[in-house]
Every structure is written in C-alpha cells, then in structure tokens.
Structure 1
Amino acid sequence: MSDSLDSLQTVGVVGAGTMGSGIAQVAAMNGYDVVLRDIEEEFVENGFETIEDSLDRFVANDDLTESEAEETLDRITGTTQLADLADADLVVEAAVEEIEIKQDIFADLDDMADPETVLATNTSTLSITTIASATDRPEKVVGIHFMNPVPIMEGVEVVVGEKTDEEVVDLAHAFSEAVGKTTWESDDKPGFVANRILMPWINEGIRAFDEGVATKEDIDRGMKLGTNVPMGPLELADHIGLDICLHASETLHEELGDRYKPAYLLKRKVEADDLGKKTGKGFYEYD
C-alpha cells in the first residue's frame, strides 16, 4: 500500500489482550475491517469477549445503537495464524512488552506482509528503532501508542524511530485521528512523553503512601483536586496494572538511572500478585 489513509481498508492487530482488543474495537467502530490475531484460540475468544462487553457499555450509555455494535463485531475476524494478516494495509502490534518477542513478531511480519505495508507497535517504553531493526523496512516502522482503555481514552502517542519515513509518521497521525483520537508526537527516547513523566509520578505516589505521608485515599484525592487529573497515582496504577507499571519503571530505570527506580511497595504488590483491577486487588479492592 502507499503511505496514504485513503488506501487503508484493513487493519491487522497482533495481540488480543486489553490493548489489542481495544485497538481492534476502535478501528472497527470507525469502519475498518480488522483481523485480530493471538497465539491461542482462547486468547482470541477472550479478546472478543472484552470487545463485546465494551460495546455493550457503549450501547447502554447511548453512544452506539445495537445495530452499530453488531456491525462493529462483524468487521472483526479472529485468527491464530499470523499469515492471515498478509493482506492488511496496516498492522499494529500490541503484544507483551518484551523486546525479543516484539522483534520476533516484526521479523515474521516483515517476511509475510507486502513490502509497502506499514508496521506499527503499541509499545509504551521500548525503542521503535530497536524493534524496527528486526525488519528490512525500518523506514516503514512507527510507534502508535494508544492509551488504556483504548475505547475511552482520547490520546495516541506517535513515536518516530531513527529511520521512520515522514510519510509513515503522517499516516500514523491520520489513522489515529480517523479512529477518533488526538495525537502528539515523540522522538524515540526512553518512555517517550507519556510514561517518561507518568512513571515517576506513580512511583512517588506509592512511596508517599508507603512512608506514611498520607492515606492512599488522601494522596489520590490531593492529586485530583490539586492538579485537576481524573485519577490519583495509586488509583491509576491499579487501573493500568501494577505489573505493567513495574515493567515500565524497570525499563526506564535501566535506561535513565535511579530517578526511575521502582518503588519497593510496587515490587512487593506485584510479587504478591495484587496487580490492581484485573486481579481484584491492588492498592484498592475491586469486585
């Protein structure tokens, strides 16, 4: 395909977890055909359940009609075969945050997809340039970092690798806007804009709680009322997933030094498998 939004009809998504299913949903809601792939049928089915639950909430809130929700689901095809993404005009990878896994996926995509197909990664902290080095088309690799939860959050971070073509960057912005998002752009530096600033904020909130500065409720309330953010650091960490926060913090700590060192209590919570909303308990408890 050319690096033009007009020629983009089918979007491939690699990974049917929280982020991948969300990306598939917003693409399908905005008229794109989507091929959603994961390594096991169970994961694909879980992704569809997540999408169906999200669409049900949209319908309940009168943001979609029943028929629009059904049409959205009809546009999504699930698969366990990476080869089924061969005809996609754009592929967005949303697999786990492990550089080796992402490089393996991109090497396979590079072999399989048309040479002109743009390959995007939803990574939140890992180097676009390093991921692109696994391909013979680094100029066609770009970061399209959606925020969580994808169907609700408005922002998308477009990340420019060392060799990413300007036309590919333009396509990343245009596609993100076509699925209802507002973009900002970052160079390929550790953590980009969002997590470079967010992770120290979350970790300092956790340290303040651990050191008895205030209750978790007052820390979150103070940050919401004092800085006009919708969630405080502990509530947001639970929402993101404490394991994801820890992994991002460790990556940034390795790249940028001690100012990004993960809070001790964050490590302890992850070791106890209290990961936030997804496990029913983090800093708060959930149904």
Structure 2
Amino acid sequence: MNNFTAHPENPAQIPAAVGVLGGGRMGAGIAHAFLASGATVVVVERDGDAAEAARGRVADVLKKSAERGTSTEPLETLSARFSVSTDYSAFTPCGLVVEAVPEDWDLKVAALTAVEDRLDADAWLATNTSSLSVSGLSDNLRRPERFLGLHFFNPVPASLLVEVVLAKSTCAELAGAACSWVEALGKTPVVVNDAPGFASSRLGVAIALEAIRMVEQGVASAEDIDAAMVLGYKFPVGPLKLTDIVGLDVRLGIAEYLSSTLGERFSPPQLLRDMVERGELGRKSGKGFYSWS
C-alpha cells in the first residue's frame, strides 16, 4: 500500500515520499513544492555533476522561500527531507515519481520505463511534459493506469496552476488523487483530457508564435508587444518575455510538435528558428528577445 501523509496545515493528502527525475529549473521547483508540503523528496540526475547542480538549485529555492517568509517549516527541516542521487533505485520507496527531463520523446520514454522498473506496483508515475502525448507515453508502460501528466508551470514556486492531464488509460483513483496533491501544494488543478498541447501550451504557444511573427514583420518591438498584453489584457508577463523565460529552444520544440499534429497554424516563424540557431535561447543563455546579462 502507498504510504500517505497529510501536511498539518493542509488536510489534502500527498505521498509521504516523492521522487523527481531531472533537477533542472523545473525539476528543482517541483521538488521544492513537495518539500514545502511535507513530503520527503529525492531528485535523481544522470551523473554526479548534474546531481550536485540539482542540489544547489533546490537549496537556492528553499533559501529564497525562507527569506520571503513563505516557508512553514525551518530551512534545516526542509533540507533534511531532501536528497539527490544518480541511482534510479532511490525511487523505490516513493509513492509518486514526477519525470521532468527535457521535451524529447525518446528521452522521456526511456526515462519513464526505467523509473517504472524501480517502483512498487502500487506507486504512481507522472510526466511533466508540456505538450507531448501522455497517452502515447503511457503505451510504453506496463501499468499505464497508474500514469498521468502533471504539467507544472515555470517558475513553480510562484505559479498557482497545475494541469492534470488524463491519458486514455489513467484510472479514476489517480485522477482524483492528483487533484488532491495539487491542492496540497497550494495550487489549483485544471483537469484536461490528453490532446496536443493540452489547454495551456496550445493557447500559450499560439499567442507566443503570433507575437514572434509581429516582431519578425516589424509590427512593433518586443517590449511594446509585451506591454500591450500586460496592460491591455492583464497578462502577468508578456508572451515574448515569457518565451525568454521558458527558453526559445523549448518553444521551438513544442511548436514543431503542434505543427505536426494540429497543422500549419503552429508552424514556427523563421525568426524563432534563426534565434535558436544562433544560441539566443532566452534567460538561460543571457540573450533572447531581451538581454538577461
């Protein structure tokens, strides 16, 4: 049986032990969210250097949370429940593992099948994909009914939304449990049936691609396009700055996938392709539509 615990400040149940595969910016944010909600968390990375980098990212998020006064527990207590590893067997005690590796189909399939082999039969498995078919990924698993999508948003600590993406085989028990986990994290679950781009990526990418076309055509500057959406439509951040935050290479990959599944309306602008080719990936490279130096 899965072992569950309830955070004292929130009656919704979360798994007592949670694993995160991949400790990049998104994985670190997911790890922090579950730590802050009372779980013990292990992050598994591909090698020792990546694992230590993941440890540093999570430690940084925990420290910032403590400085802002948003943590309900001392930093030392949170840190004591966190560990990193390069061994998938570290996931064996976990009631839930969230995969957060890059948006590459073959990489995700290999990662998910390797994780499933280390889990108990009653553990749950989730992918943080922002666009790939959750049902298609589930076809590669031995227990597809125990698998779904948990699409977190960047930055995870500040975001209030998680898309709960149901594959064709996701069981009703998992669908309900996932919504309670998201609520325990202090976020709002939005339940979406599996479809290309789900709800958020499909709409968000459509707006971002049109904004990029407007820059490409000289309609307005990136700053003015973003200002129009922030001031006119109450977006918290403009679509071009958000593209920088997400990563232009990530946006390009999602657009190419949506174009292949939904048609030419999602075809990436040449400007986006050119910027990625030049290494202008946004915040992580220091330059995108904005300078991040």
SS at 1:222's partner residue?
A: helix
2:85 corresponds to 1:40: no
Q: Indicate how the Cα distance of structure 1 residues 3 and 30 shifts in structure 2: closer, same or farther if over 3 A, else same.
A: closer
Deviation at 1:8, TM superposition (A): 2.1
Q: Distance in 1 between matches of 2:3 and 2:79?
A: 27
Hey, what does 2:219 align to over in structure 1? 213
Q: In the alignment, is the contact (CA less than 8 A) between 2:13 and 2:181 conserved in 1?
A: no
Give the deviation of 1:211 after TM superposition.
Answer: 0.6
Q: What is the TM-score when the length of structure 1 is the normalising length?
A: 0.95
Tell me if structure 2 keeps the 8 A contact 1:154–1:182. yes
Structure 2 matches for 1:1-287, cutoff 5 A?
Answer: 1-2=1-2, 6=13, 8-64=15-71, 68-287=74-293
CA RMSD of the aligned region, Å?
1.6
Q: Runs of 5+ in structure 1 lacking a partner?
A: none
- Shift in Å, 1:189: 0.3
Contact preservation (8 Å) 1:3, 1:167: no
Residue aligned with 1:158, SS: strand
What's the CA shift string for 1:240-263, capped at 9, x where partnerless?
Answer: 111111111111111111010111
What CA distance in whole angstroms lies between the structure 2 residues aligned with 1:53 and 1:77? Answer: 14
Aligned length: 286
Q: Percent identity?
A: 37
Query: Offset of 1:41 from its aligned partner?
Result: 1.4
* Paired residue type of 1:69: L
- After the TM superposition, which segments of 4 or more aligned residues of structure 1 sit over 6 Å from their partners? none
Q: What one-letter code is carried by the residue in structure 2 that aligns with 1:100?
A: D
Deviations 1:59-105 (A, max 9, x none): 3323237x622222211110000011011011111111111111112
Contact 1:12 1:91 in 2 (8 A): yes
212-221 or 67-76, which moves further after superposition?
Answer: 67-76
Residue ranges of structure 2 left out of the alignment (5+ in a row) = 5-11
SS at match of 2:181: helix
The question of whether the paired residues in 2 share the 8 Å contact of 1:35 and 1:77 is answered with: yes
